[in-house]
Amino acid sequence: IGQRQEGLMSLNSTAFSHPPYFLLTGIPGLEEEQFWIAFPFCIMYGITLLGNITLLLVIKAEPSLHEPMFLFLAMLAFTDLVLSTSTLPKMLSIFWLGFGEIGFLSCLTQMFFIHAFSTVESGVLTAMALDRFVAICCPLRHSSILSVPVVVALASLVLGRGVLLVSPACLLLHRRRFCRQRVIAHSYCEHMALVKLACGDTGANAAYGLSVALLVTGTDLALISVSYAVILRVVARLPSREARLKAFSTCTSHVCVILAFYTPALFTFLAHRFGQGVPPPAHILVANLYLLVPPTLNPIVYGVRTKKLWDRVVIL
């Protein structure tokens, strides 16, 4: 009897523990098509690497670009590189080679980088909105308000916020046991996809993830909206049409980047929690594009629309 009880305990501890690996399926419902979907994804990843690395090198090499706007842009480029590299190589191996296995700790690590640096990117976009606000509303005091130490402090705050908010979600999942199937119907390790595989009551995990998403998105979008509301008010009062157009043009690039980031982010967030009617292929495809489109577009939008930066790129 004792041996039988020990055997049952051993079986239970094995069944209710961390699995050695999970199996990422890619895009559910598009298993046949995802081989071809991987080609545009690979091209976009190549553009992401080339564009963002070029931005970082140009900003580092050119002292005249060591201004708040370009320092924030450099941080955005670094964040985009981390986000895309955390997901795309593994995603391409799933689509082309069928290598969907990912170790438990590797899965948690990927989840941490995805969610932490998505939070960082949102914070950087908010900091860039603050920079545009100061540049247009207080142009004579811009350099004194947003000095290099202030920019470094803001960057540290944005990075620290991402790490501190996402780390508890990873720790909570690490403490849970997984007794269900190991298959993740996704292309990467996403928080809610992992929560759904955990044993027992996962309400605390889901509530924490929802709270963080609402806090980050709500706070940052509110600050961005207030900044641009004041900017529009100030620009509308400028005396000449040329001055108004110039002021608007300095914000256009940032607005395009904001839309490219938050539109798929909000769709993914709402579909995960409230969009039971959204087809899984559409949901997963948008979730993939959410981590790929902004990193691809950001260097193109800023490189083309920012003359000072474009001139330096052309010289190189």
- Residue pLDDT, tens place only, 201-229: 888 888 998 899 889 999 999 999 999 88
pLDDT for 45 beyond 90: yes
**Is residue 200 assigned to a domain?**
yes
**Is residue 4 assigned to a domain?**
no
User: What number is the average pLDDT over the span 188-194?
Assistant: 89
Q: Which of 127-136, 237-246, 299-308 has the lowest mean pLDDT?
A: 299-308
What confidence score (pLDDT) does residue 5 get?
41
CB 84 within 8 A of CB 7: no
| C-alpha pair distances (Å), 161 with each of 38, 256, 278 | 33, 24, 31
User: What number is the average pLDDT over the span 89-96?
Assistant: 93
**Residue 161: how many CA atoms within 13 Å on its side-chain side?**
21
Distance of CA 11 to the CA centre of its chain: 39
pLDDT for 238 beyond 80: no
Pairing type for strands 101-103 and 183-184 reads unpaired
Q: How many CB atoms lie within 10 A of CB 288?
A: 24
**Is residue 2 assigned to a domain?**
no
Q: Which of 1-5, 57-61, 253-257 has the lowest mean pLDDT?
A: 1-5
What confidence score (pLDDT) does residue 273 get?
63
Task: Indicate the average pLDDT of the chain.
Answer: 84
User: What number is the average pLDDT over the span 257-280?
Assistant: 76
**Is residue 118 assigned to a domain?**
yes
Phi, psi of 26 (to 5 degrees): 95, -125
pLDDT for 239 beyond 60: yes
The domain that contains 194 carries what CATH number? 1.20.1070.10
End-to-end alpha carbon distance in the chain: 77
What confidence score (pLDDT) does residue 150 get?
92
Range of the structural domain that residue 112 is part of: 21-308
Phi, psi of 125 (to 5 degrees): -60, -35
Closest by Cα among 123, 140, 146 to 70: 146
What's 71's DSSP letter?
A: H
Q: What is the pTM of this model?
A: 0.88
pLDDT for 13 beyond 50: no
What confidence score (pLDDT) does residue 311 get?
62
What confidence score (pLDDT) does residue 309 get?
64
What confidence score (pLDDT) does residue 89 get?
94
**Is residue 115 assigned to a domain?**
yes
Domain total of the chain: 1
CB 249 within 8 A of CB 255: no
pLDDT for 313 beyond 70: no
User: What number is the average pLDDT over the span 166-170?
Assistant: 95
What confidence score (pLDDT) does residue 14 get?
43
What confidence score (pLDDT) does residue 161 get?
96
**Is residue 8 assigned to a domain?**
no
What confidence score (pLDDT) does residue 12 get?
43
Percent of the chain with pLDDT over 70: 88
**Is residue 227 assigned to a domain?**
yes
CB 36 within 8 A of CB 114: no
What confidence score (pLDDT) does residue 253 get?
78
Helix (H), strand (E) at residue 108: helix 104-137
**Is residue 313 assigned to a domain?**
no
Kindly indicate the confidence band of residue 272, based on its pLDDT and cuts at 50, 70 and 90: low
pLDDT for 282 beyond 70: yes
